[in-house]
Structure 1
Amino acid sequence: MSLKLLPVALLLSLGTSAQTTNHASFVNPLIGTHRMGHTYPGATVPFGMVQLSPDTDTIPYEVNGKYVPDVYKYCAGYQYSDRTIVGFSHTHFSGTGHSDLGDVLLMPTLGPLQLNPGTADDPASGFRSAYAHTDERAAPAYYRALLQDHDIDAELTASTRVGMHRYTFRKGGDAHVILDLVHGIYNHAQKNVWTFVRVENDSLITGFRQTAGWAKTRTQYFAIAFSKPFKSFGYNTGGDKETYRGFWGKFNTRQNFRELIARQLRAHFDFDARDGEQLLVKVALSPVSAQGALRNLRAEVPHWSFDRVKNEGQQQWNKVLGAVDVQTIEPADRINFYTALYHAYIGTTVYSDVDGRYRGLDQEVHTATGFTNYTTFSLWDTYRALHPLYTLLQPQRNADMVRSMLAHYRQSAHKMLPVWSHHANENWCMIGYHAVPVLVDAVLKGAPGIDPKAALEACVTTARNRQYEGLGPYMQYGYVPEDKSGSSVSKTLEYAYDDWCIAQLARKLGRTDIYNEFSKRAASYRNVWDASTGFMRPRMSDGSFLKEFDVLNTHQRGYIEGNAWNYSLYVPHAPEAMIGLLGGPELFTAHLDSLFTMELPDKYFEKTEDISRDGIIGNYVHGKEPSHHVPYLYNWTGAPWKTQERVRHILPRMYRPEPGGLGGNDDCGQMSAWYLFSALGFYPVTPGSGEYAIGSPLVQSATLRLGGKTLRIEAAHQSAQNVYVQSVTLNGKRLTRPFIRHADLVQGGTLRFVMGPVVNKEAFK
């Protein structure tokens, strides 16, 4: 099935009736699985600890005689263009630009036993199998693929902490289930520290795997139960002779040995299969212990009904997806919307057992009392729109995420809030201390169960840590000098925004001393402004600006995931001042216009991941988060109709209902959150301000169930041509400026847009 035909087939199969209440039927988990979207298509529930999904070809490739991982292409373990499946593992990132996880891979096989994964070019050389998208089905809490080489239907579903497999052997014979603890998404065998398997009885095994991948120390415990006793089992430990391309070998093998520990370990469990027989397998995970995994298994899936687990999982999805009921003119837009909402709810995940125990940053076992502990915080991405989305639609979960971040802070030897953390590890990826705007935004919007004083203490202590990423020089010079710390302009601007957030919380709590300190720091963006060029420019510790300066080069010193043009627009807490630096509203509007219309020369697309122009419109880079607020900046120049025009131009170009339909990594849901807010008609340009900037809604109507309140959004005269707002009213009262307060929206009522085909410069007067 071609990429172009797939969405059409899905639309036909799902239907487009506005009367449906099955919101999960509008989700297509295959969106974003091709090229750079880096999403996975497998089975999971909202925020589930288990992400049970197929892995395709994550085997490292050879460079100068050494095997190196493709850590970028296979961030989610799956690429739609691949034609083989190596197995089904239970942990995955969604939409990231870095890889890890891929724990506890299972693969059913039929025929002679093979303990080598084989290669994509020659799947028969190992236990992997060819498959076709015509025999593949992905839906919330469900995945199915026909493993052609073994003639096995493999189906997957999941609860929060348990993955469930159903294998249908179309033909009988010698059947095996391979447990591959060598496999992983990052660097395969090279990242393993230790693996352990214990056969408890003839249908239950337990174990763990310790890894040193992107997360430098991570332990994943598991319990695996089979619906049918296995007749025999064995292991292969590989030893030093393990290779990626050749057969796994006949050395270091053990049969029916009940307990084995090794650095590399693959196991097999053998069955006699009859024609059409089904084998069920349950896999429970725990960050704490094998006993914790067993408790999770017994608590969540004590039975053997695959369909019950699937139905309960889809009921969970319908509950969270149905909290937002949208109607759209084009059926494809409804698919995009609910898939974006689905992706927004699988990036950050539960990280605790049913009894609340979890492994903390200090590698000790803690108990989350009164909250659920969460992990996978890609905060450089998600502070912008994803966490504000949670604050609006999932306030209790977001509050628990904030409490998880505060627990991380208490467990940190550095006394730092998380930067980019997952599975009891801090990765120190990207820049800023962007847990700060998440905490501040949540507290100021009244998130339940958070101590505001404790939140302020954590924010301030983090922001004063001189050991972190140029913070010492930042406090000394009032900016980050490029000769002291790289990506200096980006750091200065992002620190300044975070500092502004701290000042807002300090003001709320009456801490004038902290408010004054961080309000001054929030103005640091002025110290990297170069009036002679009209751009934010890297500056040295002697006060001079960096001489080599190319405003369009994304690899220019001083910036990260953006160029000088992009980052000179990043002062979200002081847009009026930024506009003043660039010459006032009229000149700034022209500057923004040129951003969207200029053509970048080919020389700026040198790196492999940048060869295609995915995610780029002119010099506006939607696939990179520092630009996400930019289309909304026209609201501060007196030209809000240009925001409306840009937003409606971006939506169909960066989001399409097909596997390659995302214009960049989904980044744990941030790209999806941008779509969701923009489709509803507003966007949080400045988390911590309590305001949203008005855009141009894509939906015809939407009903948001916000706790005990209901917000109805209507877009009268909506069409592909009617992108311009003629007026906006909230509960009958006309908006006189292109902004709306969070506090007003959560009170419920009706937000009504009147749309039209021509610009109305009086829309907000």
Structure 2
Amino acid sequence: MKKSLFYLLCLAQLPLFAQTGANLTHYVKPIIGTQKMGHTYPGATVPFGMVQLSPETDTLPYEMNGKYNPDVYKYCAGYQYDDKTITGFSHTHFSGTGHSDLGDFLIMPTTGALQLNPGTATNPESGYRSTFSHQSEVAEPGYYKVKLDEYNILTELTASNRVGFHQYTFPKTDQAHIVLDLMAGIYNYENKNVWTFVRVENDTLITGYRQTNGWGRTRFVYFAMSFSKPFYRYGQKNYAHDVYRGFWGKFDQAHNFPEMAGKQVRAYFDFKTTEGEKIKIKFALSPVSTEGALQNLRTEIPHWDFEKVKADAQALWEKELEKINIKLAANDDMVSFYTAMYHAFLSPTTFMDVDGAYRGLDQNNHMAKGFTNYTTFSLWDTYRALHPLFNVIQPKRNADMVQSMLAHYDQSVHKMLPVWSHYANENWCMTGYHSVSVIADAVIKGNAPFDANHALEACVNTARYKLYDGLEYYMQMGYVPEDKNSSSVSKTLEYAYDDWCIAQMAKKLGRNDLYEEFIKRSANFKNVYDAGTGFMRPKMSDGKFRKDFDALTTINQGFIEGNAWNYSLYVPQYPKEMIALMGGESKFIPHLDSLFTMHLPDAFFAETEDISRDGIIGNYVHGNEPSHHVAYLYNWTKQPWKTQERVRMILKKMYHVGPDGLGGNDDCGQMSAWYIFTTLGFYPVCPGSDQYALGSPAMEQATLQLDGKTFTITAKDQSDKNVYVQKVVLNGHTLTQPFITHADIMNGGELTFYMGAKPAKKNYQ
């Protein structure tokens, strides 16, 4: 007994790094980001899983009295930590987006008198929703638990890739109900549901589908729902047809009728339960058919062992988290890091059945041959750091994601790569054509087990598609004119960067003709720079800059999710040329300094619905992605130590372990990927190149698992005070510049930072 106690005491004194191998999932807190504007969800899923089984705390209408309802923005992931009620548990969710959709197939267990409407948060007893407490709530990778206080029902959720597994522990009652709400969803507005269909196969098996016209305008999801116990009664309410007409009027369709169809259908299934009895539900999804959903269900979870599915899900998470084994001084920092990895591995999501079948952009069914088909591409966000992160620690998945993008291109009537796509739909959201960046980054870094020449063709055709978002003007004039196409400066700058990516790819593949075409286009950023003001500025079709100009305003100034201050620093392909354009280091450095120290007027926050003061440092907007590379720009000046200072400040201010621990939308993992790279001490300022800019590692040691090789990063004497790099040694050689290459990492080896409390102004020579 004494020996065991001594062993435990010794174990407790070991550094966190030594303990992480046993259970890294212990550090993940999915509740982080569920408060304010993080827009994450706390429910159960597996890495890159097709099912995201999570609670909804409200379903607000997209419009009220014919106008946009601003409160709906809070519910992009369906869950807000401050809410007091739960309306049910649905199977599809975005993580951290600034737009909403999904929330398919909401299930709610209830007892007592049957109610088939959700009620309201202020009057929950008017519907099937229930109050709950965070004290009874548990959120872990692959597992979620909460008690529904209204009904004394314990809810537990877990999942495989394509199947959600519910376990509800009921009290003794003759009035136990499972409500299946096919009307509920995120991004609710009139006529979202095009059609829903439910078929009762037998007393334990239900199949059906849902077609919606939401953000994705033609979206189909099929399901198979299996109960562990037969129901003794079932029924439905079709809110679009209170009186049944025509031939179907011959039947009483409200009770025990085996088919239910309509735009606004809610179904229910009744049980009698003993005290503590568990009713389990397996709910499988398919993008193709109910037959595919059944095959997914029977293949992935052929049994009723809830604990096994939970253990399997958490083992999958453990395997992915072990791709980086890190030593951090504080437990909260371990939580932040591994939760960031968790969020980074939520999307893109699998979009095919177990046999490879999936629905394509052309609305036909296809087979993914030799790759996993993925969806949910928030590319305006994720090209910056998430996909570059995948090229390091998820290369196979990233290559499959590129192949998914190429399949999208092949199925596109426009012959364009995806912009913002999900569930066989293109949403055309945000600016640029950043699939190009993701593809070029993979090709340049040697992670291209696909037809690279076909990929180049797809990139080129995308960049030449004149009908897309001002591209015709851009190709003719070298910029997008603001009087012809809004957000013109953002588009010009982003097109120029993407064109540079195409040029690099063309050069590597020996297409000098394309290289010359697109390297010329990549210099178009100069065409919207106004030397008179020192900012990128909207230019009109007559070649003159727009007269009314405010560098701080975000609305109607030629920018999207940023202002002139932010976007004037967006030339990732040519940082040296940008600095020279802005007057050289003597003017650029004070300009960059002031970005972090200036005070924004109240009007700025009134203009932006998705940014709170919590997500801003000065005029540096970490909650919106155009600034994510900015702190690293000092590396192209003689003051790289300011990068080290800034990134450590951002880490502390923008991330913590509370439910509001993200300083803005996580945007499908981009915010989290920034955190991971920056904590490790390097960042991909310009995806499409093989270069990473060094920063200030906020850890003691980390080992990256790289398909048989390892890359170890050590920060000696690192602390909250010792944020400045004194020296960097790569495999025994002292670096003379604050950069490393992709090959430096992937070849394996050791990178050692020596840290100190004061800037080493000559540490890179």
Name the residue aligned to 1:218.
219
Residue pairs, 1:389-468, within 5 angstroms: 389-468=389-468
How far apart are 1:230 and its partner, in Å? Answer: 0.4
Is residue 33 from structure 1 mapped to residue 31 from structure 2 by the alignment?
Answer: no
How far apart are 1:261 and its partner, in Å? Answer: 1.2
Name the residue aligned to 2:138.
137
Name the residue aligned to 1:572.
572
Deviates more, 1:164-173 or 1:318-327: 164-173
Residue pairs, 1:167-566, within 5 angstroms: 167-187=168-188, 190-239=191-240, 254-566=254-566
How far apart are 1:583 and its partner, in Å? Answer: 1.0
How many Å separate the matches in 1 of 2:369 and 2:668?
26
Q: CA distance change for structure 1 residues 539 and 69 in 2, over 3 Å: closer, same or farther? A: closer
Q: CA distance change for structure 1 residues 366 and 325 in 2, over 3 Å: closer, same or farther? A: same
How many Å separate the matches in 1 of 2:700 and 2:172?
50
AA matched with 2:442: A
SS of the residue 2:523 aligns to: helix
Aligned Cα root-mean-square deviation (Å): 1.6
Is residue 124 from structure 1 mapped to residue 125 from structure 2 by the alignment?
Answer: yes
Q: CA distance change for structure 1 residues 290 and 645 in 2, over 3 Å: closer, same or farther? A: same
How many Å separate the matches in 2 of 1:560 and 1:669?
20
Cα deviation, 1:256-306, whole Å, max 9, x if unaligned, reads 000121111100000001001011100000000000000000000000000
How far apart are 1:443 and its partner, in Å? Answer: 1.1
SS of the residue 2:95 aligns to: coil
Cα deviation, 1:532-564, whole Å, max 9, x if unaligned, reads 111111001111000000001111421000101
Q: CA distance change for structure 1 residues 67 and 569 in 2, over 3 Å: closer, same or farther? A: closer
Cα deviation, 1:151-185, whole Å, max 9, x if unaligned, reads 00000000000000000013433101000000000
How far apart are 1:683 and its partner, in Å? Answer: 0.2
SS of the residue 2:358 aligns to: strand
Q: CA distance change for structure 1 residues 691 and 495 in 2, over 3 Å: closer, same or farther? A: same
AA matched with 2:746: V
Residue pairs, 1:604-753, within 5 angstroms: 604-607=604-607, 609=609, 612-753=612-753
Cα deviation, 1:182-201, whole Å, max 9, x if unaligned, reads 00000156300000000001
CA contact (8 A) 1:396 1:448 kept: no
Cα deviation, 1:180-238, whole Å, max 9, x if unaligned, reads 00000001563000000000010000000000000000011000000000001000001
Name the residue aligned to 1:247.
none
How many Å separate the matches in 1 of 2:369 and 2:51?
22
Cα deviation, 1:291-350, whole Å, max 9, x if unaligned, reads 000000000000000000000000000000011111111211110000000000102100
CA contact (8 A) 1:164 1:283 kept: yes
How many Å separate the matches in 2 of 1:581 and 1:121?
57
Q: CA distance change for structure 1 residues 537 and 241 in 2, over 3 Å: closer, same or farther? A: farther
CA contact (8 A) 1:68 1:187 kept: no
CA contact (8 A) 2:611 2:664 kept: no
How far apart are 1:587 and its partner, in Å? Answer: 1.7
SS of the residue 1:254 aligns to: coil
How far apart are 1:68 and its partner, in Å? Answer: 5.2
CA contact (8 A) 1:70 1:186 kept: no
> Where in structure 2 are there 5+ consecutive unaligned residues?
1-11, 244-250
CA contact (8 A) 2:60 2:72 kept: no
CA contact (8 A) 2:63 2:189 kept: no
Residue pairs, 1:156-175, within 5 angstroms: 156-175=157-176
How far apart are 1:464 and its partner, in Å? Answer: 0.2
CA contact (8 A) 2:62 2:187 kept: no
CA contact (8 A) 1:443 1:450 kept: no
How many Å separate the matches in 2 of 1:600 and 1:707?
46
AA matched with 1:266: R
How many Å separate the matches in 2 of 1:483 and 1:158?
50
CA contact (8 A) 2:16 2:327 kept: no
How many Å separate the matches in 1 of 2:72 and 2:478?
36
How far apart are 1:614 and its partner, in Å? Answer: 2.5
SS of the residue 1:678 aligns to: helix
How many Å separate the matches in 2 of 1:732 and 1:125?
69
How many Å separate the matches in 2 of 1:22 and 1:76?
27
Cα deviation, 1:104-136, whole Å, max 9, x if unaligned, reads 111111111111111111111111100000000
How far apart are 1:17 and its partner, in Å? Answer: 7.7
Deviates more, 1:610-619 or 1:154-163: 610-619
> Where in structure 1 are there 5+ consecutive unaligned residues?
1-11, 243-250
Name the residue aligned to 1:9.
none
Deviates more, 1:541-550 or 1:59-68: 59-68
How many Å separate the matches in 1 of 2:352 and 2:723?
45
CA contact (8 A) 1:178 1:267 kept: yes
How many Å separate the matches in 2 of 1:491 and 1:523?
13
How far apart are 1:70 and its partner, in Å? Answer: 4.5
AA matched with 1:627: S
CA contact (8 A) 2:105 2:181 kept: yes
How far apart are 1:448 and its partner, in Å? Answer: 4.2
CA contact (8 A) 1:421 1:427 kept: yes
How many Å separate the matches in 1 of 2:221 and 2:269?
21
Deviates more, 1:447-456 or 1:68-77: 68-77
Residue pairs, 1:17-166, within 5 angstroms: 18-20=18-20, 21-60=22-61, 63-64=64-65, 70-166=71-167
AA matched with 2:429: C
How many Å separate the matches in 2 of 1:252 and 1:648?
66
SS of the residue 1:758 aligns to: coil
SS of the residue 1:210 aligns to: strand
Q: CA distance change for structure 1 residues 405 and 617 in 2, over 3 Å: closer, same or farther? A: same
Cα deviation, 1:598-626, whole Å, max 9, x if unaligned, reads 11111222136267312100010000100
How many Å separate the matches in 1 of 2:378 and 2:663?
18
How far apart are 1:28 and its partner, in Å? Answer: 0.2
Q: CA distance change for structure 1 residues 611 and 287 in 2, over 3 Å: closer, same or farther? A: closer
How far apart are 1:445 and its partner, in Å? Answer: 1.1
How far apart are 1:72 and its partner, in Å? Answer: 1.4
Q: CA distance change for structure 1 residues 397 and 185 in 2, over 3 Å: closer, same or farther? A: same
How many Å separate the matches in 1 of 2:241 and 2:486?
40
Deviates more, 1:80-89 or 1:253-262: 253-262
Q: CA distance change for structure 1 residues 481 and 378 in 2, over 3 Å: closer, same or farther? A: same
CA contact (8 A) 2:456 2:506 kept: yes
How many Å separate the matches in 1 of 2:438 and 2:447?
11
How many Å separate the matches in 1 of 2:179 and 2:192?
20
How many Å separate the matches in 1 of 2:756 and 2:68?
58
Name the residue aligned to 1:8.
none
Instruction: Tell me the TM-score normalised to structure 2 length.
Output: 0.95
Name the residue aligned to 2:4.
none
Q: CA distance change for structure 1 residues 514 and 252 in 2, over 3 Å: closer, same or farther? A: farther
How many Å separate the matches in 1 of 2:353 and 2:62?
37
AA matched with 1:59: L
Cα deviation, 1:683-707, whole Å, max 9, x if unaligned, reads 0000011000000011111011011
How many Å separate the matches in 2 of 1:188 and 1:124?
24
CA contact (8 A) 1:286 1:293 kept: yes
How far apart are 1:66 and its partner, in Å? Answer: 7.8
AA matched with 1:112: A
How far apart are 1:69 and its partner, in Å? Answer: 8.0
Name the residue aligned to 2:588.
588
How many Å separate the matches in 1 of 2:614 and 2:646?
17
AA matched with 1:345: F
How many Å separate the matches in 2 of 1:432 and 1:67?
26
Deviates more, 1:83-92 or 1:582-591: 582-591
How far apart are 1:403 and its partner, in Å? Answer: 0.1
